[in-house]
Structure 1
Amino acid sequence: MSTAVDPITFEVIRNALVAATDEMVLALKRSAYSTNIKTRSDFSCAFFDTELRSVAQAFTQPVHLGSMAQQVPHAIRRYGPENLGPGDAIVTNDPHPSGVHLNDVSLISPVYVEDTLVGYVANLAHHVDVGGGAPASIGAFQEVFQEGVIIPPVKVVRGGKILDDVFRLILAQIRSKHETAGDFRAQIAANATGVRRITALSNRHGRGTLIATMDELLAYTERRVRNEIAQLAPGIYASEGTVDNDGYTDVPVRLHVRIEINPEGVNFDTTGSDPQRRAPVNSTYAMSFSACAYALKCLIDADLPVNDGFYRVFSLHAPEGTVTNCTWPAPVVGGWETQTRLVEVMFRALMPAFPERLPAGTKGMMCQAGFGSLDLARGSYTCFYEALAGGYGGRFGSDGPDAVQAHGQNTENAPIEETELNYPVQIARLSLVEDSEGPGQFRGGLGLRKDFRVLQPTTFTILADRDRNGPWGALGGHDAAVAEYALLRDGIETHLGSKSTTELVAGDIVSVRSCGGGGYGPPEERDPERVLRDVLEGKVSAERAREEYRVVIDDRRLDESATNELRRGTA
């Protein structure tokens, strides 16, 4: 028997559910140990009802849009909801068949109110190390077993207390035990916060009203999203793209997507993408599903809730055994690189129909970097992980931002001071990469250069892309410059592959120079005053201004006569 919910109560509870997950975010961020979680915010939190439908999500990371909605229900069903009581929590990072890469560890807790189950709170956080073949657990691996400890859904908290045997077993596989133990406890604290808030909400309004409101919230969301989709241009859109290489061969990884928009919803199909590789570029179904969710969310009202009502209106067909839906025991650590490029392929397919809503190509990769250093004297192993920023694509009416995280990423750059204080490394340089933008009427953003000087023997891994093909330009805009990865030793610079692990000695520098964003519109139509400003700010050289934008800058001043003459000559 359903309970009627008045509009005011509906809005109060709807926002309180999101506020509960937002408070989980604060609890996790403020109590975590690692830079990657406490500062870079590489995690997300959510609440699910008893039917395992996503009800509320707090997004610090849009890549978790959709992936948690796949992973959490599967984990609970696999473990058995009847095996979870008040105060319990299960942990998992198993990528096959419904998870993501091993560093992303999920903690799930039931919410009981007066011995009655009302739902589950969950958080997913990227741990700086989960064991495996290289520090930070990233690298060009060929099997998932090489990537770190695989945790099927297993109980790690019972009745509010950590199960010490399970906890110690997990930590035994991990290098950075101090940070990881702290981050796990922060995840437990976040779920405890969510349980308290949902319990208080139920006690205040009544369990029947809470459940009825959740049902109506999902139906409300579905109605609104379907209405938004009905206003999109119907049709079939297709495109393809590539990941530069798989880390073992020079053969590009082909991605293909077909998107059908109709009044009933949106159907995504990745048929035609390459078979999965024995290399770290495989996206799981949950990762690819998340790419679809993100692409659709960019086309509709930003104010719409994200819950099961949203997920009902689109579908994904990703053939098993492909790089968009890999199967056991495929490695998945670089799956987010492929997932991010899949978003780019989707946007390129949709650009003709939505030119005012979508950007030109962005950095289109996570651009992961991680290192580890063993200190035998102290008996410690220090691990660091960061996904570096890059240029965003130019857009209708505005330039792409410089050195930002794109699409599914919303992490912050790791601060220099915090990095140098806690890890045996110095940041020798942090700057924008001049001339890395894609020229256009609205230029792409610039890439980021970050140079890591190690202070002791260190294993350093880059797991990225874009050193062969730069982000694409749109509507006459030009492609951006490619990324570069280099080792500087004794004054000599050597190239590093985009998916490589290198042994360093004290004083070595690894330089990561990410790509810019693609340009939007013909560069010769860019306002010369904007070009002048870019030159004065050191973002674009005077030579590039002349060659790409047909703008003459002489002695840091705009030469309007020469510019007009130059542009007339190209008309």
Structure 2
Amino acid sequence: MSTSSNSIALRDLDDQEFSARYNCDRFTATVLSNRMRYILEHLSTRILTNAFSPILRDWYDFNATISGPPELNYQMPAVGNSLAAFFGSMSEAVRITIEEFGPQNLRPGDIIAANDPYRVGTHVNDVCFIRPVFAGDRIVSFVSVKAHQLDIGGVVPGGFSATKHNVFENGLVLAPILLYRDNKPVKSTFNLLFDNSRFGGIILPDIKTIDQSLQFGERLILESVERYGIDAYFGAIRYAVDSSAESMAAALNKIADGTYTGVGYIDADAVDQSREYEIHLTLTKVGDRLEVDFSGTSPQARTSINAAALDAKSAVVMALKFLIDPTTPYTSGAFRNIDVVLPAGTVVSATPPDGAIFMYWEATQPLMKAVFEALDTALGKNAVAGDFGSMGIHNAYGLTDTGQPWGSMAVGGGEHGPWGATKEGDADSYQSFYQANGIDPAVESIEADNPVVILRREYVEDSAGSGYHRGGAAVRKDTMYLTAAEHWTTLLSTKKAPGIGVYGGGAGVAGAAWLFPDEVARVSERQDLIATDDEIYARSTPVTGVMDPESKVLDPSGKYFYYGDNPIWQTTPNSVFRYQTCAGGGWGNPLDREPERVLDDVRNLYVSIAGAERDYGVVVIGDPLHDPEGLEIDRNATQARRARLRAER
């Protein structure tokens, strides 16, 4: 089937045909579509450099989009380069918000806000700010920013928690509401927002920055319209979207027709550990079209680990962009040839009031893993291995010695970790998850904003999935909290490691988290780090993970320690949380990896000497800790070892 009623490929249109279809020449359409992306990049830089909130300033937890007017069905021709989980749902977010508010009720200088996850996707802290762009009395576009607000009320400061049971515990919900009119703040809306936020003093200047950035985006759009004309501008919107749709269709066409299945897993919700949640996918591919059926997926969770239907749709296309269409710009056209069958009330299509949504990525990351798994065989060399899956976000709240409240959000857990390997090479070991493009907050910034000390951030030896290209290594992070505090933790993919290997590669190991009370850690007294050898774990309190019940050391055949046994962790000063992320999967047969690359891994402590021989069949001689440059490969022993392993496998 063709991607649209226009069956001729864009590159095959002659100049006259192109002009008739898009009301402009090819060069103009290309210039305008690139300019739209430039506008959003420029707009996003203004937010990034002027934000007060660490979640925007350090995490890049926002995104920006341009959408067409109602007469173009709100097509989205350009997105920003920041948080990818946002822009997949923002085309629908703009359409739903504006249609509910009423486009006839808009006028120049307006900003409409909405944050309801069931309307606009993601979670309540992510407020969508939408500004209509008028040329005269005609709406010609919308420029939008979805940006995480540091706190939006609810029972948990900052919101990051899997313990909330319904939308009423989650925080303030904004149906489409007028935030600015005639470029002036609407006082009642601001009162509503700040009466429900713990950190209004930080949020207020951020909203002002967003307002000015949207006005800046509007000016640049109007400059484009004035220079090239409305017809050419509209044509460029349609061209950018059609081009994206055509690219995805061509990529789908290269996959063999057939039916493919995959499953993603979530360990448990925060009620009890009796329910494990599964995301079931059946992908049916015919020609250049794909149907993604979620039938059989677990019902919505009893706490706020669910995702909305818009998030599921976004994650499906995000996975496909990684796998088959990674080089073309993202637009709403990427969805055009993909049909989604999604029953209501599942863990990735939750409904209110009991299907609470906050930790939505904990459901959509397993969804992406399921897509990767389903298409592993079909893609062969082009398959992508799984990443660390659950971010294990850690949220803490307390009072300083002077009684000043503080809140630490998404900096003390397993928020950054490894990706999976591809045909292009080894995976990086320290990134945000696949749906993000976040900047890692600097240690100095974290410690300046909060009474915490980041004691350790290092890679874990022998954790990465083996392969011709190695997966990313697990990240071990120790964070000490200097005051008494309350903590919420959500590491939700430790039972079944999400870092699947592809094309013959091995899987990465599962992760875990532990608490070392001050009487065990004694960091301030000893002026030294907590050890990493097995003996220290017996004195820890497991937070979550599959471990030996006595030694508390990671053990795939051990006992699952359930994070929900302590919905709120209460700690005394100088207590330390240790997070170890899951590791990324490998790509290709590890026995094909060049011995010299394995030697480098041993030298750099990604792989131990024993692991090199066990997983790669490479015999390394020497001491990597005390004489890394003196390491050598025993060529004869390696040849014999690899021959034995090939025969066994």
The aligned residue for residue 107 of structure 1 is: 129
Task: Show the counterpart of 1:183.
Answer: 206
Aligned to 2:317: 293
Kept in 2, the 8 Å contact 1:175–1:381? The answer is no
Question: Secondary structure, in 3 states, of the residue corresponding to 1:239?
Answer: strand
Q: What's the counterpart of residue 493 of structure 1?
A: 540
Write the letter of the residue equivalent to 2:643.
R
The TM-score normalised by the length of structure 2 is: 0.84
Structure 1 equivalent of residue 257 of structure 2? 234
Q: CA deviation at 1:325?
A: 0.9
**Secondary structure at the counterpart of residue 15 of structure 1:** helix
Matched with 1:277 is: 301
With 23-32 and 339-348 compared, the bigger mean Cα shift is at: 23-32
Q: Once structures 1 and 2 are overlaid, which stretch shifts more, 224-233 or 96-105?
A: 224-233
* Matched residue count: 571
CA distance in structure 2 between the partners assigned to 1:508 and 1:47 by the alignment? 46
CA deviations over 1:190-213 (Å, ceiling 9, x no partner)? 211211111111112222332233
Residues in 1 aligned to 2:195 and 2:337: alpha-carbon distance in whole angstroms: 43
Q: Distance in 2 between matches of 1:542 and 1:224?
A: 45
CA distance in 2, matches of 1:508, 1:180: 30
Matched letter for residue 125 of structure 2? N
Alignment of 1:61-460 (within 5 A): 61-139=83-161, 140-250=163-273, 251-329=275-353, 330-375=355-400, 377=402, 380-386=405-411, 388-396=415-423, 398-460=425-487
Structure 2: distance between partners of 1:217 and 1:482: 41
Instruction: Spell out, residue by residue over 1:290-336, the C-alpha distance to the aligned partner (whole angstroms, 9 max, x if none).
Output: 11111222344434332233222212111001112111111111221
**Structure 2 CA distance, aligned partners of 1:2 and 1:395?**
39
Query: CA offset at residue 283 of structure 1?
Result: 1.4
1:505 aligns with 2:578: no
Aligned twin of 2:620: 553
- Pairing 1:50–2:69 present: yes
Give unpaired runs (5+ residues) of structure 1: none
Contact 2:89 2:121 in 1 (8 A): yes
What is the deviation of 1:287?
0.6
Query: Partner of 1:352: helix, strand, or coil?
Result: helix
The Cα shift of 1:164 comes to: 2.8
Residue in 2 aligned with 1:524? Answer: 591
| Cα distance in structure 2, aligned partners of 1:474 and 1:228 | 20
Tell me how far 1:19 sits from its aligned partner.
1.3
Residue by residue, what CA displacement relative to the aligned partner does 1:121-172 show, whole Å, maximum 9, x if unpaired?
Answer: 1111122322222222011211122122212111111111122332132122
Distance 2:125 2:229 in 1: 38
Q: Measure how far apart 1:228 and its partner are.
A: 3.5
Secondary structure, counterpart of 1:391 in structure 2: coil
Question: Contact 1:93–1:150 (CA<8 Å) still a contact in 2?
Answer: yes
Change (3 A) 1:57 1:390: same
Contact 1:61 1:411 (8 Å CA) reproduced: yes
Paired letter, 1:478: G
Instruction: Give the distance between the partners of 1:226 and 1:481, measured in 2 at CA.
Output: 35
Question: Contact (CA 8 Å) 2:406, 2:450: kept in 1 or not?
Answer: no
In terms of mean alpha carbon deviation, does 486-495 or 179-188 score higher? 179-188
Aligned-residue CA RMSD (Å): 2.1
Using the TM superposition, name which of 8-17 and 178-187 deviates more: 178-187
Contact kept, 8 Å, 1:372 with 1:382, in 2: the verdict is: yes
> CA contact under 8 A between 1:273 and 1:322: conserved in structure 2?
yes
Match of 1:539 in 2: 606
User: In structure 2, what residue type is equivalent to 1:291?
Assistant: A
Q: 2:33 aligns with which of 2, 14, 17?
A: 14
**Secondary structure class of the residue paired with 1:238:** strand
State the partner residue of 1:33. 52
Aligned residue for 2:573, secondary structure, equals coil
Q: Is the 8 A contact 2:513 2:542 kept in 1?
A: yes
Q: Does structure 1 retain, via aligned residues, the 8 Å contact 2:24–2:231?
A: no
Return the letter of the residue paired with 1:510.
Answer: F
Which one-letter code corresponds to 1:61 in the other structure? L
Q: Once the 2 structures are TM-superposed, how far is the Cα of residue 81 of structure 1 from its aligned partner?
A: 1.6
Shift of 1:375: 4.7
Contact 1:55 1:214 in 2 (8 A): yes
The AA in structure 2 aligned to 1:482 is: A
Q: Could you tell me which residue of structure 1 aligns to residue 524 of structure 2?
A: none
| 5+ long unaligned stretches in structure 2 | 1-19, 521-538, 545-562, 624-630
Matched to 1:131, the amino acid is: G
Instruction: Please say if residues 103 and 128 of structure 1, whose CA atoms lie closer than 8 Å, have aligned partners that are also in contact.
Output: yes
Q: Letter of the 2:474 partner, please give it.
A: G
Q: Any conservation in 2 of the 1:442–1:521 contact (CA below 8 Å)?
A: yes
For 1:259, the aligned partner's letter is L
Q: Which has the larger radius of gyration?
A: 2
Letter in 1 for 2:583: G
Question: Counterparts of 1:74 and 1:472 in 2: how far apart (Å)?
Answer: 36
CA contact (8 A) 1:283 1:325 kept: yes
**Aligned partners of 1:3, 1:569: CA distance in 2, in Å?**
63
With normalisation by structure 1, the TM-score equals 0.95
Query: Percent identity over the alignment?
Result: 27
Corresponding residue for residue 502 of structure 2 = 474
The code of the aligned residue for 1:569 comes to R
Give the Cα–Cα distance (whole angstroms) in 2 for the partners of residues 442 and 263 of structure 1. Answer: 31
Greater displacement, 142-151 / 320-329: 142-151
Separation (CA, whole Å) in 2 of partners of 1:505 and 1:33? 29
